Amino acid sequence: MKILGIDIGGSGIKAAIVNTKTGELLTERHRIATPKPATPNAVAKVVKEMVEHFDWKDAVGCSFPTTIVEGKCIHSGNLSKKWLNIKVDKLFRKECHIPFYVSNDADLAGVAEVNLGAGKKEKGVTIVITIGTGIGSGLFYNKKLIPNLELGKMLHSNGKIIEYYTADSIRKKEDLSLKQWALRFDELLEYTRIVFSPSLIILGGGISKKYDQFKEYLTTDVKVKVAEFRNNAGIIGAAMYAHKRLKD
């Protein structure tokens, strides 16, 4: 089935039409910068621009960078505090006049990776961690999604939210070397190992492309893989999610 997948991120909004059976992008990926400030109305207008770019008239799957329950944003995330309690699916449907199926970005990136990518042969507990403006995470047991895991919202030993210590945006903001950042990220992996005992951790987000440059600084004994779909995982997973919802 062909479905438009849209991945909303802190710096960019990306989309493509996807073959939901294979994960193949059937079009070139299109990117539009996330508006500043990223208010609901501003983002909705970019989403409409994206839909028009693809001349898309059917249902859309959408990855969104915070906790989503039944289409509703229950945490403001890293976009704008104005998103809190917004029904994101309803907002985009009203703007574009087509159905939207919206869920958490890391969950949907995980849907793509666990079913078609780096975790397709794995059983047991798999955790997907996306590293970008914040820290996203998806939890799967035997490929079944347990939604809205937020590892990035755990508290670090200094009492502050851990994504403010380990996100890629913090690496850039504090001008950390890859080694300095990786040693911080290793602490998050250790927390994850202790709490969830995963058999596999899949890393996504832009910095995952540099995995070979920082993997030597990670001490976890859990198997770690890089997301096969890289920055397209959110687009692919969003399309797969919409396909499943349409079937249900």
**Taking 80 as the threshold, does the pLDDT of residue 77 lie above it?**
no
Q: What percent of the chain is predicted at pLDDT more than 70?
A: 100
pLDDT of 79 higher than 80: yes
Neighbours of 76 (CB within 10 A): 15
Say which range, 42-46, 70-74, 91-95, 132-136, has the weakest mean pLDDT: 132-136
pLDDT of residue 7: 96
In whole numbers, what is the pLDDT of the chain averaged over residues? Answer: 94
What's the pLDDT score for residue 10? 85
What was the pLDDT predicted at 171? Answer: 97
What mean pLDDT comes out for the span 84-110? 96
pLDDT in tens, 153-212: 999 988 999 999 999 999 999 999 999 999 999 999 999 999 999 999 999 988 999 999
Q: Is the pTM of this model over 0.85?
A: yes
**pLDDT per position as a tens digit, 16-36:** 999 999 999 999 999 999 999
